[in-house]
Structure 1
Amino acid sequence: MSQIGNYTILPLTIPSTPAYPKPTTHTIYLRPHTPKIPTADDARSLFLVNVPIDSTSAHLRSVFSSLLGAGKFESCSFEHERKQPGNAVALISAKGSKKRKRGQEEDEVKMVELPRIWDRELRRSGSTAVVVLVDEKSVELALKTIRKLHRKSSKSKSGDVWPVWGEGVPESSQITGSKRYLLHNELRFPNPREIQANIDAFMTSFNSQESSRALSAKRARNEPDEDGFITVTRGGRVGPARAEEVERKRVEMEDKEKRKREEMERGGFYRFQTRERRKEEQGEMIRRFEEDRRRVEVLKASRRSKFVPEK
């Protein structure tokens, strides 16, 4: 059987080791990658399930090179793989530990990698991975090659047709059993020179950030903000802000308030104010009309009193 549902079955030959002296078989299930959020590389990607716990990019490259030939494998990513190193210390930048107000940018985090205490990361049993090949044809060719190997395996008596896990991978990636734990014990106590170099790098970055923080605080003590106020910060007293800067800020604030009052007076902030203003304008127009009408009547009456008909 070469397929279960949408998954194609790929058996792998696990060679014998000192811990387990008999060769065995591990099965990987793969299908074309169709994530919920599409990406540009989906058409040339394969989704793998049940990858071995000691999987690395070199292991999967070896497997697909045996299936497709060299140069077809591009990259791979494992389940829950972190973007940042697992053994790293975060250094907060000079901007502080929280977001600043008035739309300033968030803190920048610089990662300083610590010495590793394991030779490589082990995968969770039954975990998944995504393999990106060079093109879409390589995906189709990989699935077609696996089906051919199934037919060949059913006819072969030995059954040695499947890719060998770890073949062509450097020895450092194949350390297993007690050797791996001995290496782990050695890595737990790194060379003092390596520790000192790591400490020096950490302190250099920390001192640089402290200097930037002190410079930012000094500038904040000398420069007024957009409202004309001086930020109160730690670090001792320094000279006050320049008088012309404070005066300029004060004039800008007064102009801003004046424009705001004029806009409020013209349009009104609330709807009822607009209605009241229209009623007042309408009443003023009616009053002026009545005054003009009475004035015209008075003029007409005075003209009639002065008119004397001819005899």
Structure 2
Amino acid sequence: MSKIGEYTVLPISIPSTPAYPKRTTQTLYLRPHTPKIPTAHDERSLFVVNVPIDSTVAHLRAVFASLIGAGKVEDVTFEQERKSVVPSREVAVVGNASKKRKRGIKSLEESGGVDLPQIWDRELRRSGSTAVVVLVDAKSAESVLKSVRTLHKSSTKDQGSSWPVWGEGIEGKKNEAPKLGSARYLAHQRLRYPDETVLKMNVDAFMTEFNRKEEEKAKREKRMRNVPDEDGFVTVTRGGRTGPARSEEAEQKKREMEERERKKREELQSAGFYRFQVREQRKAEQGELVRKFEEDRKRVGAMKEKRGRFRPER
């Protein structure tokens, strides 16, 4: 079966390992990338589901190279990186600054602008996680899906031996990833207790950045002193005001505030904000009309009664 719904099925062959000495197969599911918020790269991007937990950019590049040839993959973004608040390229560990990785765990603002030492030498993916593969053009993305369908047609003849082999084609120091298994945890134990020199470099860099931001904050607060905002209020900052405002400026601000308040009241009244006051005023006017009507009615009644008692002379 080459398709399940909108997904194209791509089985990959997983070589045996000392932990599991049997060759197995894992299935990737591919479809054109259609995010809720469109981007300029969607037409040449593929959404990949169920990537292996040890996936790296080199692994996926090798898989796609086996389908349509090398040099067609421009970028790979994994699920954790897309869910980050501020994706950014951060340096891995001080002392190994030549290696850069795409990280999205914390922004530079959250981490104080300084990278902290990593305690894992390799990031693993969550089981069943996803990735977005950006190819050089839309034709390459279509070629990947077409190549997978072609492999499905030929798989019945060679019993699936033509499926891409996971990790094949990434040999070399450039794409070499840290080992998994017990070696990963030994490296984790070593990285938890960094060398004193490396630790000192990280602490010094963090404190330097912290002091720089504190100085910027103090300068910004100093500029805010004695500067009224749009409502005429002066922000009180630590250290107090540098001096009293001039009487002319204070008087000018007072007039501006009164003018703004007047305009605001007019706008609110025109918008019907004080409708209850309008209703009360209408009730008072109606009551006044009723009172005058009753007075006029009594006056007319009195005139009629007086006219009824009138006796003309004979």
**What TM-score do you get using the length of structure 2 for normalisation?**
0.68
1:259 shift after superposition: 8.6
Does 2:182 align with 1:178?
yes
1:177 shift after superposition: 1.1
Cα deviations across residues 25-69 of structure 1 (Å, max 9, x unaligned)? 211111222333333222212121111011111111111111111
Cα distance 1:32–1:217, how it changes in 2: closer, same or farther (>3 A)? closer
Equivalent residue, structure 1, for 2:135: 133
Equivalent residue, structure 2, for 1:114: 116
Equivalent residue, structure 2, for 1:210: 214
* Separation (CA, whole Å) in 2 of partners of 1:113 and 1:131: 27
Which of 240, 243, 248 lines up with 1:240 in the alignment?
243
Cα distance 1:144–1:200, how it changes in 2: closer, same or farther (>3 A)? same
* Separation (CA, whole Å) in 1 of partners of 2:31 and 2:268: 66
Residues 1-311 of structure 1 aligned to structure 2 (within 5 Å): 1-81=1-81, 82=84, 83=87, 85=103, 88=106, 110-156=112-158, 159-169=160-170, 170=173, 172-173=176-177, 175-226=179-230, 229-235=233-239, 239-241=242-244, 243=246, 246-254=247-255, 257=258
Contact 1:51 1:126 in 2 (8 A): yes
Contact 2:12 2:164 in 1 (8 A): yes
Q: 1:194 is paired with a residue of what secondary structure?
A: helix
* Separation (CA, whole Å) in 2 of partners of 1:177 and 1:23: 17
Q: 2:216 is paired with a residue of what secondary structure?
A: helix
Contact 2:9 2:30 in 1 (8 A): yes
Equivalent residue, structure 2, for 1:276: none
Q: 1:20 is paired with a residue of what secondary structure?
A: coil
* Separation (CA, whole Å) in 1 of partners of 2:195 and 2:105: 17
Cα distance 1:184–1:155, how it changes in 2: closer, same or farther (>3 A)? same
Cα deviations across residues 179-200 of structure 1 (Å, max 9, x unaligned)? 1111111111122222111111
Identity value in percent: 56
For 1:234, give the aligned amino acid: R
Cα distance 1:255–1:44, how it changes in 2: closer, same or farther (>3 A)? closer
Cα deviations across residues 155-214 of structure 1 (Å, max 9, x unaligned)? 126x43121211233574251111111111111112222211111111111111211222
Q: 2:209 is paired with a residue of what secondary structure?
A: helix
1:248 shift after superposition: 2.7
Q: 2:212 is paired with a residue of what secondary structure?
A: helix
Contact 1:89 1:113 in 2 (8 A): no
Deviates more, 1:204-213 or 1:225-234: 225-234
Give 1 or 2 for the bigger CA radius of gyration.
1
**What TM-score do you get using the length of structure 1 for normalisation?**
0.69
Unpaired runs of at least 5, structure 2: 89-102, 273-277, 279-314
Contact 1:87 1:116 in 2 (8 A): no
Equivalent residue, structure 2, for 1:286: none
Unpaired runs of at least 5, structure 1: 93-108, 273-311
For 1:215, give the aligned amino acid: K
* Separation (CA, whole Å) in 2 of partners of 1:129 and 1:6: 16
For 2:184, give the aligned amino acid: R
Cα distance 1:215–1:26, how it changes in 2: closer, same or farther (>3 A)? same
* Separation (CA, whole Å) in 1 of partners of 2:227 and 2:72: 59
Cα deviations across residues 216-245 of structure 1 (Å, max 9, x unaligned)? 33333344445555433322x5641453xx
1:252 shift after superposition: 4.7
* Separation (CA, whole Å) in 2 of partners of 1:125 and 1:43: 27
